[in-house]
Structures are given as C-alpha cells and as structure tokens.
Amino acid sequence: MVELAGVSKDYGSGVVALRDVTLTIEPGELVGVVGPSGSGKSTLLHVAGLLDRPTSGRVSVAGHDVSRLADRQLSALRAQYIGFVFQQFHLAARVSALDNVADGLLYSGVRRPVRRDRAAEALRRVNLGHRLEHAPHEMSGGERQRVAIARAIVSEPRLLYADEPTGNLDSVAGQLVMDILRQLWTAGTTIVIITHDREIAAGLPRQVALHDGRVTAA
C-alpha cells in the first residue's frame, strides 16, 4: 500500500526531519509509528500521506510513484486512497456532525442529499447515529474525535492515517477510539497510527520506531 525508499526530508538550516527512511506497509496492516517528540513522526505522516514531497528518495502509494505526479494528480490520488484523523479534530464550529462529515465529500461531485446520507452512515459506524444534528461544542472530546474519524472514512479510503488520535482524550474515550480504529482495520482498511504513546503502540500488530529521523525498528 505504501512504500518509502531512501526517503529524506531536509527543511534547510540544518533541520533534517527524515534521514534515508525505507519502509513498506502492506495492504490490510495495522501499524503504529512511535517515537519521542522531534523524532520525525509528523514529517513521515506528511510525506507518506502525500501532503508534502520528500527532498530525496521515492514514495509510492497503491503502486503509484509520487515523483511522477503533478500536484493536481497528487491531490486526486490522496483524495481517492487516503483518509486522515488528526489530534485537533479540525471540525467546523456551529456546524452539525452530519454536515461536518458530509463536507468530507464536498469535492467528490456527489450531490448534497447523497453526501448527507453517506455521512449519516459513517456516523453510525462510529456509534454516533444519535448525535447527527449536534455541533462540536455540544459534544465531548471523544465524540468529536469520532466525528473526525467518520469524516475521514466517509469516502471509504483504503488507507487511514491517525495522528495522535487519543492525545487529547481521557483513557475511556481513548480506548473507544482505538476500538473503532481496530474495527475499521478488521473490515479491511490499512491503518497507520502515529503516536508517542508506547503503550498504545505495543498493543498493535506492528510497530515502527523512529529516532532522530531514522527508522530504528520496523
């Protein structure tokens, strides 16, 4: 599903976030990428998630060599294959959960009634069928994170990146989010969880460790 070969990312002024990273993630894997702050986890997410280009090396997603693609093609590939869940939720305030999720299909060419139907189904998948019309400020942190997951999966991506998905949650809400991610994995989604929490990573089938921009265990 994802292949990085000799990937480095140099921001200049001596800031090298990734150093010669070689990594393969197979379809259907559940992988934890773990490391301390500053280890390169977020940069790895941005490069492997096609949000940024590497300084050197090769990135492939679903067999597509990213270096051969123009920015518009890159955006289309990202929209077709990848979903993202971020620690900060990034939900629109004063907008219902239903429309926050439906907006994930805004540029898909799908009509609004169909977008909302699909959004309702995605929210039911994360056990929020009873909160469709609630805005983020009316929901707990755990519920907001589940809305963010629903928005990420409404387009049925084959690959899901979750960046510190439990970082802002208490242990109970965090466990519920992890349970949902596992259910998505069991249903066939390839999932990569970026985390500094080694306890979470230890509970995953595979762990990739980063330190100072290098993969130290895969």
DSSP E strand boundaries for the chain:
2-12, 15-25, 30-34, 56-61, 64-65, 82-85, 159-163, 190-195, 206-211, 214-217
44 located within any domain: yes
Residue 19 belongs to some domain of the structure: yes
Residue 116 domain-assigned (yes or no): no
Number of domains in the chain: 1
160-174 CB burial, b ≥16 within 10 A, e <16: bbbbbbbbebeeebb
Strand partners for 5: 58
Helix/strand/coil percent split, the chain, to 5 = 40, 30, 35
pLDDT at 119: 96
Residue 197 has what pLDDT? 85
Burial class for 111, CB neighbours closer than 10 Å (0-12, 13-18, 19+): exposed
Domain carrying residue 24: 2-92+156-217
On whether residue 118 sits in a domain, the answer given is no
Residue 206 tokens, joined: 């595979």
- Note the pLDDT of residue 136: 95
Q: What is the pLDDT of residue 58?
A: 96
| 137 neighbors 94 (Cβ within 8 angstroms) | yes
Answer whether residue 34 is part of any domain.
yes
Q: How far is CA 38 from CA 15, 17, 41, 71, in A?
A: 11, 8, 7, 27
Measured from the Cβ of residue 133, the count of other Cβ atoms closer than 10 Å reads 10
pLDDT of residue 7: 97
In a domain, 121, yes or no: no
Q: Is residue 141 part of a domain?
A: no
pLDDT tens track of the chain, all 218 residues?
999 999 999 998 889 999 999 999 999 999 999 998 889 999 999 999 999 999 999 999 999 999 889 999 998 899 889 999 988 888 999 999 999 999 888 877 789 999 999 999 999 999 999 999 999 999 999 999 999 999 999 999 999 999 998 888 888 888 888 999 999 999 999 999 999 888 888 999 999 999 999 999 98
CA angle at 139 for the pair 138 and 140, rounded to the nearest 5°: 135
Is residue 132 in some structural domain? no
pLDDT of residue 14: 84
CATH of the domain at 87: 3.40.50.300
